[in-house]
């Protein structure tokens, strides 16, 4: 599978669908985050998923188990292949999300547990009352995710190797993927595609490095090549228009 998931962190569904239509031949899936889900509703998952690659609903659910299970079911029915929940919600909440996704997708969807947000560093984690190191907290959340039946976890590339060592069967999704010469923006623990895959990531979430590029197809193609993926020849590629959509 192509490991690149493009984060469609854009303001409206029309822009997200336009991006998905152009990028689908070059990527392994799309991430629909809170901005789109709140603005467009779950139907945007169907619209983006119509182009073929699976959709990762980054809802970061965190509530009482019954509510999370019901929300996960709704997202699965909308076509989400993966749904994120916060590990801090506990084992019962993760189990409820897993059950909700199973019911809503006939078993075809999986939970990804958010371990520690990549916007946090060690000092900020301590401010939340967590005394463990970042790596220790990520590993602890991974063990909880495994116990709850989750398919994988979301963590930074810096913890990916430790996660794979602790629970080899867990899929590891790493956000914060940037081009080598890009600014870090609001994520403190970031890496290139190559660094993430070498550290054990199964999938990488790429946002502005592709979606804010002058030539989005060229950027996606370069990421796919870096990930060792076969690329459609020019005659099979979507028309690329620099700038807008």
Residue 71, Cβ density class (10 Å: 0-12 exposed, 13-18 middle, ≥19 buried): buried
Tokens 């403190």 sit on residue: 188
Which of 214, 91, 65 minimizes the C-alpha distance to 146? 91
Distance CA(20)–CA(66), nearest Å, equals: 33
Q: What contacts 163, CB < 8 A, 6 or more positions away?
A: 115, 138, 139, 142, 153, 155, 170, 172, 200
List the catalytic residue out of 60, 164, 171, 188.
60
Q: Which two tokens stand for residue 74?
A: 């709704």
Distance CA(149)–CA(214), nearest Å, equals: 41
Residue 1, Cβ density class (10 Å: 0-12 exposed, 13-18 middle, ≥19 buried): exposed
Does 164 participate in catalysis according to the annotation?
no
Residue 97 DSSP class: H
Residue 80, Cβ density class (10 Å: 0-12 exposed, 13-18 middle, ≥19 buried): buried
Active site amino acids: 60
């Amino acid at each position: 599978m192509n490991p690149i998931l493009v984060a469609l962190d854009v303001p409206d569904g029309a822009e997200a669908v336009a991006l998905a239509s152009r990028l689908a031949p070059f990527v392994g899936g799309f991430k629909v985050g809170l901005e789109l889900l709140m603005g467009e509703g779950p139907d945007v998952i169907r619209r983006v998923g119509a182009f073929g690659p699976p959709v990762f609903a980054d809802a970061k659910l965190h509530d009482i188990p019954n509510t999370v299970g019901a929300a996960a079911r709704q997202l699965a029915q909308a076509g989400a292949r993966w749904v994120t929940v916060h590990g801090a919600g506990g084992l019962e909440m993760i189990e409820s999300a897993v059950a909700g996704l199973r019911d809503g997708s006939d078993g075809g969807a999986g939970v990804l547990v958010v371990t520690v947000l990549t916007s946090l560093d060690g000092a900020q984690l301590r401010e939340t009352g967590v005394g463990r190191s970042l790596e220790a907290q990520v590993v602890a959340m991974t063990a909880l995710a495994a116990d709850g039946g989750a398919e994988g976890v979301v963590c930074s590339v810096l913890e990916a190797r430790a996660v794979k060592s602790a629970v080899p069967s867990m899929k590891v999704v790493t956000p914060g993927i940037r081009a080598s010469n890009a600014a870090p923006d609001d994520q403190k623990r970031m890496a290139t595609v190559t660094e993430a895959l070498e550290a054990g990531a199964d999938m990488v979430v790429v946002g502005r490095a592709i979606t804010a590029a002058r030539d989005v197809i060229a950027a996606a193609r370069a990421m796919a090549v870096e990930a060792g993926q076969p690329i459609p020849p020019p005659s099979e590629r979507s028309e690329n228009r620099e700038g807008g959509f």
